[in-house]
């Protein structure tokens, strides 16, 4: 047996925007085991439900993460709406869907940039983030915020989008679609990129299932699971096919996410063509009493919001299960047998969001 | 598989204008909805404290004794919940971000002295439905349906006007008192 050595990886590392620590057990250049430790940025957001009422809590939940902020707020609001049996207006459902899908584009473009950066293709990284900037401008135009929108409330949404804004959104997404078609060739058909991604960090369908992987990471291993098919918000009225890939390697994860951007653009088009008029929010009376599990599909995978209310304005318990937390066991599995030089790349392929994980 | 896929993008970037703006020589343009900072029309403020009570980050302080409304701009998260809660709609969220400062400071706004207004119920039209008492954020109104009594505790009242707007019979009006 070769001599084993332990290399600490993180919490501060150039590839990690956020802190996670891994102890990598190496045999020569091969990783044989990875031991994670998390908890560097725990903020205790969930315990704030004891101090903030259920309406104020929307703004706290939104700030769990800066990338999937909108969907955190939406998931939380939907859980409270289900407890209170509030049927939100159709227009609010569609607006939520449009913003959620635009968030998915923004998150996946960010991830593509980080991936390009991780395998050392700096100019491709800039190209992706340049496209993402246009999405952020649309967010600022329609909601007022670039990353955190604060447009959700229990019972509906706070802001409307007029025809002009919807047209801007269509134009911008069409522009991104064109640009992405060009960039896609570099990601999926380039010799150097393929040599860094193909066959690296393979996770089989069975492993992904047993370890409870979520989101594009699981779908890249062939698991057909997408919470959008459960039909929350306006998804039940839109046509979509779950995007999967069979290979289960880093290349498949990249492919799934690129195709999901095209899918998100298509969903936005469908939603804008079907959006009904009417009210933005329903009247919410009284305090919630009961409990509910809300499952939403975030860019990184399935997130679960559990809310338990007792009839007062403060919730009794609130819990968020985030996709990165679910993906860490699978990440450790993919790291086994990987080259030491591929570790940063493999960590990026789960699209880690540590602030979500630690809340 | 190809080696030169990125070539066209590189050439296009080489001969096109930069996408970034030459800030600050060319100033930033914010859209109308941009959530920059909170502004207050202090003349219209009634110091009811609803904004301070509902602020998720507790950035707003309202001092009724000193007639001041203050905000710690470093604590404010620009969520806009105060603007939604304000009964007088004197709070606005406007474009333009907070200027950098070398130390934390609280912005204090003093309300000019004005005669105070109190709600007065018209006993002929009042149906003692208790909606005003339920809506009152300071529990200053007591309604006794059996005794047909409507009472106001002037010390607690903040003249927010929520009772006036919630009255189904429109029998409450805010009247100036010297």
Considering only CB atoms, B10 lies closest to which of A123, A190, A191, namely: A123
Comparing CA positions, the residue from A187, A163, A162, A169 lying closest to residue A268 is A169
Choose from B5, B10, B14, B54 for mutation: most chain A CBs within 10 A.
Answer: B5
Q: Do domains B34-110 and B117-176 have the same CATH topology?
A: yes
B80 and chain A in contact, CB less than 8 A: yes
In angstroms, the CA A205 to CA A221 distance is 5
Q: Where are the domains of chain A?
A: 4-358
A59 and chain B in contact, CB less than 8 A: yes
Q: Which two tokens stand for residue A41?
A: 């940025």
Question: Could you say which architecture CATH assigns to the domain B34-110?
Answer: 2-Layer Sandwich (3.30)
Q: What is the pLDDT of residue A171?
A: 92
Q: Where are the domains of chain B?
A: 34-110, 117-176
Chain A residue whose CA is closest to B57 = A60
Is residue B3 pLDDT above 80, yes or no? no
pLDDT by residue (tens digit) across B36-74?
A: 888 888 888 888 888 888 888 888 988 888 888 889 888
Q: What is the pLDDT of residue B108?
A: 84
Q: Number of residue pairs across A and B with CB atoms under 8 Å?
A: 67
Q: What is the pLDDT of residue B41?
A: 87
**Residues contacting A157, CB < 8 A, separation 6+:** A92, A95, A96, A151, A280, A281
* Fold assignment, A4-358: Cytochrome-c3 Hydrogenase; chain B (1.10.645)
Full-model pTM? 0.82
pLDDT by residue (tens digit) across A113-155?
A: 989 988 888 888 988 999 999 999 999 999 888 888 888 888 8
Chain A 147-176, CB below 8 Å of chain B: which residues?
148, 150, 158-159
pLDDT by residue (tens digit) across B108-142?
A: 888 777 777 788 888 888 888 888 888 888 888 88
Is residue A111 pLDDT above 80, yes or no? yes
Comparing CA positions, the residue from B68, B65, B51 lying closest to residue B106 is B68
Q: Which two tokens stand for residue A26?
A: 């190496």
Comparing CA positions, the residue from A90, A56, A86, A184 lying closest to residue A131 is A184
Chain A residue whose CA is closest to B31 = A141
CATH 3.10.129.10 applies to domain B117-176: no
Q: Which two tokens stand for residue A115?
A: 């991936």
B60 contact residues in A (CB cutoff 8 A) = none
Comparing CA positions, the residue from A230, A292, A236, A228 lying closest to residue A263 is A228
Cα distances (Å, whole numbers) of residue A224 to A213, A248, A335: 12, 13, 23
Q: What residue spans of chain A are helical by DSSP H?
A: 57-62, 69-84, 90-118, 122-142, 163-189, 191-197, 205-210, 215-219, 250-274, 323-335, 343-349, 354-358
Strand order in the sheet with A289-298: A289-298, A301-310, A315-321
Residues present in chain A in total = 359
pLDDT by residue (tens digit) across A252-305?
A: 999 999 999 999 999 999 999 988 888 888 888 888 888 898 999 989 889 999
In angstroms, the CA A117 to CA B83 distance is 41
Query: Confidence band (pLDDT; 50, 70, 90) for B20?
Result: confident
pLDDT by residue (tens digit) across A55-100?
A: 888 888 888 888 888 889 999 999 999 998 888 898 999 999 999 9
């Amino acid at each position: 047996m070769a001599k084993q050595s332990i290399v600490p990886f993180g919490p501060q590392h150039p590839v990690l925007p956020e802190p996670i620590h891994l102890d990598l057990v190496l045999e020569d250049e091969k990783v044989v085991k990875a031991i994670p430790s998390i908890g560097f940025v725990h903020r205790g957001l969930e315990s704030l439900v004891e101090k903030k009422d259920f309406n104020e809590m929307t703004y706290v939940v939104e700030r769990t993460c800066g990338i999937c902020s909108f969907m955190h707020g939406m998931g939380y609001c939907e859980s409270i709406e289900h407890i209170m049996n509030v049927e939100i207006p159709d227009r609010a459902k569609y607006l939520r869907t449009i913003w959620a899908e635009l968030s998915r584009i923004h998150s996946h473009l960010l991830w593509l940039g980080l991936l390009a950066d991780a395998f050392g293709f700096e100019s491709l990284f800039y190209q992706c983030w340049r496209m993402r900037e246009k999405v952020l401008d649309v967010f600022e135009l329609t909601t007022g915020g670039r990353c955190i929108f604060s447009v959700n409330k229990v019972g509906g949404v706070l802001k409307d989008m007029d025809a002009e804004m919807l047209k801007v959104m269509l134009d911008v997404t069409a522009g991104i679609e064109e640009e992405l078609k060009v960039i896609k060739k570099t990601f999926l058909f380039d010799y150097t990129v393929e040599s860094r991604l193909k066959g690296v960090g393979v996770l089989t369908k069975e492993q992904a299932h047993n370890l409870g992987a979520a989101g594009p990471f699981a779908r890249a291993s062939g698991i057909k699971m997408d919470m959008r098919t459960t039909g929350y918000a306006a998804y039940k009225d839109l046509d979509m096919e779950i995007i999967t890939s069979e290979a289960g390697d880093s290349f498949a994860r990249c492919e799934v996410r690129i195709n999901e951007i095209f899918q998100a653009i298509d969903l936005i088009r469908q939603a804008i063509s079907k959006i009904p008029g009417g009210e933005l929010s329903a009247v919410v009376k009284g305090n919630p009493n009961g409990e509910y599990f809300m499952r939403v599909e975030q860019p990184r995978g399935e997130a679960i919001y559990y809310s338990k209310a007792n009839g007062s304005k403060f919730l009794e318990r609130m819990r968020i299960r985030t996709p990165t937390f679910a993906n860490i066991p699978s990440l450790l599995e993919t790291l086994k047998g990987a080259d030491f030089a591929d570790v940063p790349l493999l960590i990026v392929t789960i699209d880690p969001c540590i602030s979500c994980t630690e809340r | 598989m190809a080696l030169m896929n990125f070539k066209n993008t590189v050439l296009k970037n080489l001969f096109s204008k930069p996408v970034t703006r030459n800030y600050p020589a060319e100033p930033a343009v914010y859209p109308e909805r941009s959530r920059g900072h909170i502004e207050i029309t202090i003349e219209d403020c009634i110091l009811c404290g609803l904004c301070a009570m509902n602020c998720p980050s507790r950035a707003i302080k309202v001092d009724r004794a000193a007639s001041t409304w203050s905000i710690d701009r470093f604590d404010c998260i620009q969520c806009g919940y105060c603007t939604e809660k304000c009964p007088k709609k004197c709070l606005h969220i406007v474009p333009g971000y907070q200027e950098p400062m070398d130390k934390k400071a609280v912005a204090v706004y003093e309300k000019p002295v004005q005669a105070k207004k109190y709600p007065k119920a018209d006993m002929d039209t009042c149906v003692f439905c208790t909606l005003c008492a339920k809506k009152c954020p300071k529990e200053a109104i007591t309604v006794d349906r059996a005794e047909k009594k409507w009472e106001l505790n002037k010390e607690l009242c903040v003249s927010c006007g929520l009772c006036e707007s919630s009255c189904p019979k429109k029998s409450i009006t805010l009247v100036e008192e010297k």
